[in-house]
Structure 1
Amino acid sequence: MKYLFVICFLFQIYSTSAHAQAYKYHTVKKGETVFSISRSYNIAEEDIYKYNPDAKAGIGVNEKLVIPVSDSKPSENTVANSTKFKEHKVKKKETLYSLSKKYNVEIDLIKRYNKQLYSRGLQKGETINIPVGVNSRISGNEPVGPQKTSDVAPTFKVQNNQITKTREHIVLPKETKYGIARKYGMTVKELNSVNPNVDELQPGMMIRVGTDVLEDEPVIILDDRFSFYEVQPQETLFSLTRRFGVSIDSLKQLNPALKDGLKFGMILKVPENPDGTSAGEKAFAGMDSEADTKLDLSNAISNRRTKEIVLMLPYNLNKIEEDSLKAYRNAIMNERVVRISLDFQSGVLMALDKAKSMGISTNLRVYDTKQNESEVATIINTNDFSNVDAVIGPLLQDPTEVAASRLENRNIPVINPLSNRSMRGYQNLFQSVPSEEFMKNAMLEWISKHAEGKNVVVIADGKAFKIKGELNNILPNARSVIPTGNYVADQEIERVLSTGSNYVILESENVNLVSSVTAALNRLARNFDITLLTTNKTNAFENDIVSNNHLGNLKFHYPSVDKEYDSQATKSFNEKYIERFGVEPNRYAVRGYDLTMDVLLRLASAEDLYESFVKYPGYTEYYESKFHYLPNENGGFTNDAIYILKLDKDLTIRVADDL
């Protein structure tokens, strides 16, 4: 009955100069495009995008663009005509950075003559054109051709010999000392030491910087979402996450250099609070992070415009032959992806009804992706998406990336509902399910916060060596038990337990080891206070040979994307769902409801989805899920709202802590 209903529904279906380079502001007029503006200033489109990255998503009337202008700079065509090229076949592990060093050519210039590199990285085996000769190095900091000076200036003496060589850097609009120092691998103190007479930066000003530019060059022009922070002595990743109200994974995504560890004096990019107060200032003032605030957006509805929502899911409707709806209904029972899609959509429909009762009107369009990337592209190419507020779906990773790439230049949000796999960084892509890395880091934060005064024991098999190393880094006093094969004896665990409170962290995907350890801990729990934890609740913990009673006795703690569905607290929702579809809602139906309600309420409380995150930086929560999106370093947004759940002795699951 439920599937038949859904199937039927588907068928309804400013100017300062310095040397040869200066900058000015251009106010966009009606009808102007990036191309027409580039022609009027005799510059390349890429030069506009370089200083105005947001322009890739489109430009609006009266919007101000930073335009690089130069009396001595020839047009792109002039440069091209006077430039010779060398063909280079890309080898394994080569990067644009390594090629720029090898051929003494700016990365931007390589891209200019190999347009495909604006949208993707180098690929092994491909042949690219490398510009060579007198015009081979062109950047915003250097004159062109014979006027060009050396990149590296003579030795500049600095106290403590921290910086021995410098180069020139022209300050761009919105650049800060923090950002410039970060770009050239310096501390702010070192930057000030080589520029002793510079108190305040101004656009077009020339300053001295170091010669080491980060290979993964960070974005140094700030927007309202970010600021920079200099790492102080004794600070750790965990202390920084609590200071700025972000997860470890988010800090790493915003700061790729953290892969080599946290260092004193390092400049980090951190979230900026919407009230204009920097995260660091707010932390020093003793204020709580707004990210910890639970929001009720039903009290903030202000945008009554009808919401245009597109739902893209795989239904495989192409498999329906004429007069064979019944046969299709029977067939889909054997296709898990299709069943998930139908369950998810039933939750979407329930959310639309609820939103309507709150005065939010929605126009829903449903498309069948057929689990096919080309079908997604066809849908977008052959239908009008000009007024779409958000796309929910597609379900799978590859079709989702196709949808996001096709809609990125229109700035239409694409929200993936169920995948926790890492996706490509499209600016409009929202991943609603936290990744396993987010889950792990959330549990590590919880353990770090609660382990003080506890005796911590780590039991990890050989495959879990990475997480064991991370646990040892944050808990240097933790004791370890090394399994013998897939077994751990009671006495091996007992010798590392204490008479106080014990945290035992078990990391394994092996069901026999999990069963052996939980059984042994259950016996030892008669004489010891033991709490069992894991950073990854693998399928081994769900296996029938692992006793849930043992896990309950051990007060099992683990991270989760969603909390336990409380049928009593959601009685009204259950009754309405059963009345409409004839069955109780499952996890996918509830997920469909939660995600859609969050999207609709955010659209109804702001002009668009992006503005809602600026206006309301806290988290939202519904029946099973909560949402708090953070920007990724490589583009897009990821939900980092995670539950830490606890299994009680009576086998009820409750929230142990709210991160």
Structure 2
Amino acid sequence: MKYLFILCFFFQIYSISAVGQEYKYHTVQKGETVYSIAKSYNISEEAIYKYNPDAKEGIEVAAKLVIPVSEVKKQNADVNFRTHKVERKETLYSLSKQYNVDIDDIKRYNKHLYAEELQTGEVVRIPVFAKTPSVVERTSNSKKSNVQDKSTREHIVLPKETKYGIARKYGLTVKELEELNPKVEVLKPGVMLKVGTDVLDDQVILATNDFEFYEVKPKETIFGLTRKFEVDKDSLMALNPALKNGLKSGMVLKVPNKGVGVGNLGETETEKFKSDDSKEADSETEVVEEKINLRNNLTNFKTKEIALMLPYHLDKVEADSLATYKDAILNERVLRISLDFYSGVLMAVERAKEMGISTNLRVFDTKQSTYEVNNIINRNNFSNTDAVIGPLLKNTTEAAAAQLNRQEVPVISPLSNRAMRPMSNLFQSRPTDDILAEAMLNYLSNNVEGKNLIVIADPQAYKIKSTLSGLFPSARFVTPSEGFVSEESIAKTLSKTKKNWVILESDGVGTLTSAISALNRLARENEIRLFTTNKNNSYDNDNVPNEHLAKLNFHYPSVDKEYDPEFSAEFIDRYAEKYGAVPNQYAVRGYDLTLDILLRLATAEDLYESFVKYRGYTEYNENKFHYLPSSGGGFHNDAVYIMRINPDLTLSVVNDFKSSL
């Protein structure tokens, strides 16, 4: 096996957790002093004065002091542990309540929980801190206490706290919070606010470098927010339990900090509490996903180890003849795909080497067998492997990831679009069909206003039909009969005054051909565009002419686009010179994927540091990449093109990250 030097980078599990300061309130009781209160909480007097500067002039009974809980924990160095075996339906929240310990503390001593869900049967360590006083807000019968009505309570504004964080804490919209406090013009530490009584269970955690608060704008969707803040739906729901009742305009959400600055203030800053100007500025605040060029930020030139696992079926090569193998190449599609992909990988190897980065490439033949994958891993040392690209198919990829999970060796699935078992070391680089469909739904949601929407869906497509019905209640539906769509049934749904957008959902050739033919005839007198969430193999049938699709400006979601000859001229020429052919989609995929991995990791010590340092998406000849954490563990690429077939049979990209937000 020939060894080549190229660039690849080590993937390791990295997590971003909220590390915000935490606070509790203490109501001063008769006879208490700053010294006695500090001693009771095992913190310094300076810590109390830091967050309560007026206390230097003395404290009164019933006064409220801010106690920095995190500083209590920092001084509590004695930590012991008990173990807990996780039972069915137990959660981090239930464990925190059972053992009276914060969720963040459980994660701190079980680091895999930053990136993975709690699993039934696993054993976790529960920290047991030296006993400290319970930090609770006590009530006082003093006459100086403010009398509250049944629907409100008091809240003292903390340093760096914002109206967004306060509103979320008490289940209010920002507008409701402002209406409760009409006389408050500027939000400053120490100001007393009226707030709601529906209080979240967690402690007061402020906006930090990792998290901030965001006010939901009109017409925003959960899918749009997952794209805007680079977080999957399950994680967004976990951060904001109120979303289980639906997303509403004005809601305040806790989201990953994207540098927008919606809720973050410096220690010496104040926030306008009620101002038309500030509201207008908030409405214009927008996260724009940008295309990033990692070539300008290379810093890590350390030689890396990469393993490439593909099904070459070398066992079919006879010792004295290559003819048998040539026949295998012609007869086996998977083998041809593997060799094309491999050629692209080698091109990326050479390109990376020209940038000054070298990597040792090891190539393994999986023979399209999970048994062989396990043998390869057992027979070879992968302890120093930075990343594995491959295997090609779902079952072999899962086998490799499972075997290498304990060693935390990342496995990058290059081509499979099937959803895989969640594993912390598994990176799915090709968007699944569900992600493709969701991208098209998002595109339609952002652009369908003012259009006459028509859905043609087979009975077998009931899931997507139900989704479309929920998203677009005013849409008109046409159901094919025995795999056929009549022109009359479509004509009844068309509008003469609006643009007609038709969504076609079927994998039946009969349904597709009859519907597309009817739409072409109707397009002579009506403005019609055709869409689908799933461009399946039936669209490649000879009975579905591209000319008909082009006339309807057919839109569909795609993992890749056609490369631009001008942009990719150098790559195409070098590939043709090396292999005597123009690269096909699998060769381009091998090149784009491998180069992306190398460049992402060349910008930092590891892949995740690169994600934190360089927001946005990367794009190469035909493919773009934008990775998000997957529910249950691992990561997936959600970068999708919305393609359009033009009347001249050329293809255009009609979406990018900017337009899909």
If the TM-score is normalised by the length of the shorter chain, which range does it land in?
A: 0.5 to 0.7
Q: Distance in 2 between matches of 1:583 and 1:437?
A: 34
| 1:169-212 deviation line (CA, Å, top 9, x unaligned) | xx9xx99997899799888999999xxxx9879xxxxxx99798
Listed as ranges, the matches of 1:92-131 within 5 Å are none
SS state at 1:486 partner: coil
Structure 1 equivalent of residue 220 of structure 2: 236
Structure 2 equivalent of residue 493 of structure 1: 490
Structure 1, gaps ≥5 residues long: 1-7, 25-50, 53-64, 131-136, 164-170, 202-207
| 1:568-612 deviation line (CA, Å, top 9, x unaligned) | 654443343233234432211110001112122223333332222
Structure 2 equivalent of residue 638 of structure 1: 636
Structure 1 equivalent of residue 232 of structure 2: 250
> Residues 565, 468 of structure 1: CA spacing in aligned structure 2 closer, same or farther, 3 A cutoff?
same
> Residues 283, 515 of structure 1: CA spacing in aligned structure 2 closer, same or farther, 3 A cutoff?
farther
User: Higher relative CO (CA 8 A, sep ≥ 6), structure 1 or 2?
Assistant: 2
Deviation at 1:239, TM superposition (A): 9.4
Which of 216, 222, 227 matches 2:212?
227
Q: Retained in 1: the 8 A contact 2:211–2:256?
A: yes
TM-score, length of structure 2 as denominator length: 0.67
Pairing 1:432–2:429 present? yes
Structure 2 equivalent of residue 261 of structure 1: 246
SS state at 2:654 partner: strand
Q: Distance in 2 between matches of 1:179 and 1:407?
A: 41
Amino acid in structure 1 at the alignment position of 2:603: S
SS state at 2:524 partner: coil
Q: Distance in 2 between matches of 1:438 and 1:368?
A: 30
Q: Retained in 1: the 8 A contact 2:214–2:255?
A: yes
SS state at 2:516 partner: helix
Q: Distance in 2 between matches of 1:523 and 1:262?
A: 41
Q: Count how many residue pairs are aligned between Structure 1 and Structure 2.
A: 568
Q: Retained in 2: the 8 A contact 1:21–1:143?
A: no
> Residues 89, 231 of structure 1: CA spacing in aligned structure 2 closer, same or farther, 3 A cutoff?
closer
Pairing 1:558–2:543 present? no
Pairing 1:607–2:605 present? yes
Deviation at 1:411, TM superposition (A): 6.2
Q: Retained in 1: the 8 A contact 2:80–2:127?
A: no
Deviation at 1:433, TM superposition (A): 1.4
Q: Distance in 1 between matches of 2:482 and 2:614?
A: 51
Structure 2 equivalent of residue 305 of structure 1: 301
Please report the RMSD computed on the Cα atoms of aligned residues, expressed in angstroms. 5.6
Q: Retained in 2: the 8 A contact 1:21–1:68?
A: no
Deviation at 1:369, TM superposition (A): 4.0
Q: Retained in 1: the 8 A contact 2:4–2:360?
A: no
Which of 584, 587, 594 matches 1:586?
584
TM-score, length of structure 1 as denominator length: 0.67
> Residues 270, 375 of structure 1: CA spacing in aligned structure 2 closer, same or farther, 3 A cutoff?
same
Which of 573, 592, 614 matches 1:616?
614
**Same amino acid, percent of matched pairs:** 42
> Residues 22, 631 of structure 1: CA spacing in aligned structure 2 closer, same or farther, 3 A cutoff?
farther
Deviation at 1:646, TM superposition (A): 0.9
Amino acid in structure 1 at the alignment position of 2:309: L
Q: Retained in 2: the 8 A contact 1:434–1:639?
A: yes
> Residues 422, 384 of structure 1: CA spacing in aligned structure 2 closer, same or farther, 3 A cutoff?
closer
Structure 1 equivalent of residue 311 of structure 2: 315
Q: Distance in 1 between matches of 2:649 and 2:94?
A: 59
| 1:404-427 deviation line (CA, Å, top 9, x unaligned) | 566667765543211233344445
Deviation at 1:558, TM superposition (A): 0.7
Q: Distance in 2 between matches of 1:129 and 1:562?
A: 43
Q: Retained in 1: the 8 A contact 2:171–2:200?
A: yes
Amino acid in structure 2 at the alignment position of 1:653: L
SS state at 2:450 partner: coil
Q: Distance in 1 between matches of 2:197 and 2:406?
A: 35
SS state at 1:457 partner: strand
Structure 1 equivalent of residue 647 of structure 2: 649
SS state at 1:360 partner: coil
Structure 2 equivalent of residue 420 of structure 1: 417
Q: Distance in 2 between matches of 1:587 and 1:254?
A: 35
SS state at 2:571 partner: helix
| 1:152-184 deviation line (CA, Å, top 9, x unaligned) | x9xxx9856599xxxxxxx9xx99997899799
Structure 2, gaps ≥5 residues long: 7-20, 24-36, 45-68, 140-146, 181-186, 191-195, 265-277
Structure 2 equivalent of residue 519 of structure 1: 517
Structure 1 equivalent of residue 255 of structure 2: 270
Which of 478, 502, 505 matches 1:507?
505
Q: Distance in 1 between matches of 2:199 and 2:402?
A: 35
Structure 2 equivalent of residue 339 of structure 1: 336
Deviation at 1:12, TM superposition (A): 11
SS state at 2:655 partner: strand
